[in-house]
Amino acid sequence: MDQTTRRLSLPESPREFGFWLDGSYRGGRALFERASPGHGVPVTLIPKCTPEDVNAAVAAARRAFEDRSWAGLSGSDRAGVLQRTADLLRQRAGELAYWETLENGKPIAQARGEINHAISCFEVGAGAARLLHGDSFNSLGDGLFGMVLREPVGVVGLITPWNFPFLILCERVPFILASGCTVVVKPSEMTSATTLILGEILAEAGLPKGIYNVVTGSGRTVGQAMTEHPDIDMLSFTGSTAVGRACVHASADSNLKKLGLELGGKNPIVVFADADLDDAADATAFGISFNTGQCCVSSSRLIVERGIADRFEEMVAEKMKKIRVGDPLDETTQVGAITTDAQNETILGYLEKGTAEGAKVLTGGTALDMGGGSYIAPTLFTGVTPDMSIAREEIFGPVLSSFRFDTVDEAVKLANDTAYGLAGSVWSRNIDTALTVARRVRAGRLWVNCMLAGGPEMPLGGFKQSGWGREAGTYGVEEYTQVKSVHVAFGKRNHWVE
Ligand code: NAD
């Protein structure tokens, strides 16, 4: 690192990866060159796997599941591997953050924070492996006893997006492994490096071969082959609602595999006049600008009490103007680059649409020229009406749309006026008001007087078209299990045939 500028350097040449199959790297495939979105410089070379590679990875995961080298261990032995993984992640945190930043474009300081979160996920997963248990029914009379067993669901397919490649991976993998399942992961083709490095780390931590496999490549070939695969028992998909829907069809048309889906969001932040407005303005600017708004739980709709709306919007705009947007490798950067060219085009398209539909830009509204890479200024639209596309559609960028309300009922109605239900935030010093809104907003995660808070102990997932199922914590482990009822009879049978 250059100590005078506190900026990490780019790699001298792109790093070539193999894919991770049955405990080791495999090569020999055509390669996809990934350029750093912050600089436009090639940083990694990633294999373009084939449907045959998916078959090989699923076969390895199936063998490893059936031989009970993992599912047959005690929870405490599985916890040992997960805890050792957490320790090794701590040792390699700098390296993981570096590759995450290079492929994704997020600021290096933020990437380090996400690796810390991933370490917590493995620690919570280790605890959950030991605590996973079933149930019993001692209420069936003296002649019968009931046991409810939780068993691993089997081979899990895991498809992840590019916005939080390592964090989303680690909000799932420790819990999948804690349950005793084996897994085949397909990361986004844009951001595969850290998912592959995790293979090395898990192996060093003592995970038997075949339990964790990674196939890289495009969604259309590798991803689709996984959604249709007859020997994947469960698919956990995180990404767009459109592809989530395709996963449902593929499951229906193949083996009816169990699905976990975490999809899009259009999340409200509701601000009442009696809130600490200084804190609320900071949280509002953070909630939409963090990770350049490429965050499924971004608070992208500001719903503010009419009496304070003009002043509050100004406070948020002032905060947004001060955000340090820039080179992801600079230690002081708060908001980095837009991760993909396609996403950059999408966001710029919404900036145009917002203005064309009659909303007013209070701050931002344009791309930023940093001499390379794709950057967009945090943007606040005011005068937004519920029919506008910037009000209804997930933009997945640093673009906030502001609405106004007069009553609690109206605030809740606006908050729920969306097909999505991933997250929400409410700001009020009145506990009745805050909890009424928290209870009535239909979403999987609510933040009261805070934003994006919490750890992997708490479940995450969506209502409505934001998805099915929950990840993380004990809820997350249970998601990867099947429940089996075992009935045990006592004494002599009462004969049916005399
Ligand atoms: P995406 O749906 O295009 O891609 C996600 C993953 O699916 C990638 O690995 C991709 O290669 C793969 N994929 C693409 N087409 C596929 C197909 N036909 N079959 C199987 N797999 C396929 O999404 P994205 O652009 O990577 O991510 C952005 C979207 O993800 C946003 O809509 C965002 O809200 C959502 N997201 C949701 C969460 C959440 O937790 N709810 C988290 C992150 C992102």
Beta partners for residue 446, in sequence order? 424
Asked if residue 458 has pLDDT above 80, the reply is yes
Any ligand 1 atom below 6 A from CB of 227: yes
Q: What are phi and psi of 355, to 5 degrees?
A: -65, -45
Contact 134, 149 (CB under 8 A): yes
Quick check: CB of 49 below 6 Å from ligand 1? Answer: no
- The fold for domain 268-448 equals Aldehyde Dehydrogenase; Chain A, domain 2 (3.40.309)
| Cα 191 to ligand 1 centroid, rounded to whole Å | 12
**Which pTM does this prediction carry?**
0.96
Summarize pLDDT for 299-340 with one digit per residue, the tens: 999 999 999 999 999 999 999 999 999 999 999 999 999 999
**How far is Cα 418 from Cα 442, in angstroms, rounded to an integer?**
10
- What 8-state DSSP symbol labels residue 292? G
pLDDT at 3 over 50: no
From 163, 192, 295, 341, mutation site for ligand 1 pocket: most ligand atoms within 8 A of C-beta: 163
Average pLDDT of the residues of the chain: 96
In the chain, count of helices (H) and strands (E)?
Answer: 16, 25
Distance 149 CA to ligand 1 centre (A): 33
**Cα–Cα distance measured from residue 313 to residue 303, given in angstroms and rounded to the nearest whole number:** 10
224 lines ligand 1 (CB under 6 A): yes
Query: What ligand 1 atom has the least distance to the C-alpha of 243?
Result: 2
Whether 228 lines ligand 1, by a CB cut-off of 6 Å, is: no
Q: Which pLDDT score, from 0 to 100, does residue 152 have?
A: 98
Task: Give the per-residue pLDDT at 6.
Answer: 75
Give the residue carrying structure tokens 């596309």: 389
In 10 A of CB 369, how many CB atoms? 8
Give the number of the atom of ligand 1 that is nearest the alpha carbon of residue 263. 41
Tens-digit pLDDT profile for residues 377-405: 999 999 999 999 999 999 999 999 999 99
| Tokens (6 digits) for 448 | 């009261």
Percent of the chain surpassing pLDDT 70: 99
3-state secondary structure of 461: coil
Residue nearest to atom 14 of ligand 1 (CA): 219
Q: How far apart (Å, rounded) are the C-alpha atoms in residues 253 and 31?
A: 31
Ligand 1 touching residue 157 (CB < 6 A): no
Please report the pLDDT score of residue 5 as a whole number: 58
d(CA 454, CA 297): 13
Chain Cα centroid distance, residue 157: 15
Residue found by looking up tokens 């933009």 in the block: 395
Whether ligand 1 lies within 6 angstroms of the CB of 459 is answered as no
Question: How many A from CA of 276 to the centre of ligand 1?
Answer: 36
Ligand 1, pocket-test mutation among 48, 232, 243, most atoms within 8 A of CB: 243
- Measured from the Cβ of residue 408, the count of other Cβ atoms closer than 10 Å reads 18
The domain locations on the chain are 15-263+466-484, 268-448
* CA-to-CA dists, residue 60 to 64, 141, 212, 286, 452, angstroms: 6, 45, 9, 43, 37
pLDDT score of 340: 94
Q: Give the closest residue (by CA) to ligand 1 atom 34.
A: 264
Q: Which of 453, 470, 481, 469 is nearest to 131 (CA)?
A: 481
CA-closest candidate to residue 427, choices 283, 268, 266, 272 = 272
Going by C-alpha positions, the residue among 303, 298, 271, 323 that lies closest to residue 395 is 298
Mean of pLDDT values over 263-289: 98
Q: 34-78, pLDDT tens digit by residue?
A: 999 999 999 999 999 999 999 999 999 999 999 999 999 999 999
d(CA 159, CA 258): 14
Ligand 1 atom nearest to 239, measured from its CA: 30
In 306-427, at which residue ranges do the beta strands (DSSP E only) sit? 360-363, 367-368, 375-376, 379-382, 399-405, 420-421, 423-427
- CA-closest residue to ligand 1 atom 38: 296
Give me the active site residues, please: 262
Q: Which residues contact 450 (CB under 8 A, 6 or more apart)?
A: 283, 425
Whether 189 has a pLDDT exceeding 90, the answer reads: yes
| Identity of the amino acid at 1 | M
Q: How confident is the model at residue 421 (pLDDT cuts 50, 70, 90)?
A: very high
In the CATH hierarchy, which top-level class contains the domain 15-263+466-484?
alpha beta
Q: Is 451 in the pocket of ligand 1 (CB under 6 A)?
A: no
Tell whether ligand 1 has an atom less than 6 A from the beta carbon of residue 216: no
Q: What is the pLDDT of residues 344-364, one digit of tens each?
A: 999 999 999 999 999 999 999
Compute the CA torsion angle 92, 93, 96, 100 (nearest 10 deg): 180
Closest-CA residue, ligand 1 atom 21, reads 223
Could you tell me what percent of the chain has a pLDDT over 90? 97
Query: What confidence score (pLDDT) does residue 406 get?
Result: 98
Cα of 461 vs centre of ligand 1, distance in Å, is: 15
Place 7 in a pLDDT band, splitting at 50, 70 and 90.
confident
Report which ligand 1 atom has the smallest distance to the Cα of 159: 9
The pLDDT, as a whole number, for residue 372 is 86
